[in-house]
Amino acid sequence: MSTFEFEAAIAGAKEAASAASYDIQKLPENSVERQALHGLITAVDHLILAFDAQTDAED
């Protein structure tokens, strides 16, 4: 995968995570589903940051 393709994939992942986060906020505040999805989206955000940082370190 080229650098351009990777950066596009990271940008797409960030956009999708942001959209999911917005949708999660619409769920009832103290619901188990909201708490679980919030945990998952937080993990996804950290993975995106790790991948992004890794490619920055390689450049």
Share of the chain above pLDDT 90, in %: 73
From the list 35, 44, 36, 38, the residue with the least C-alpha distance to 14 is 44
**What pLDDT does 52 receive?**
85
**What pLDDT does 33 receive?**
95
**What pLDDT does 58 receive?**
76
pTM: 0.81
Q: Does the pLDDT of residue 45 top 80, yes or no?
A: yes
Residues 23-39, mean pLDDT to the nearest whole number: 95
Tell me the two tokens of residue 3: 């650098």
Q: Does the pLDDT of residue 57 top 90, yes or no?
A: no
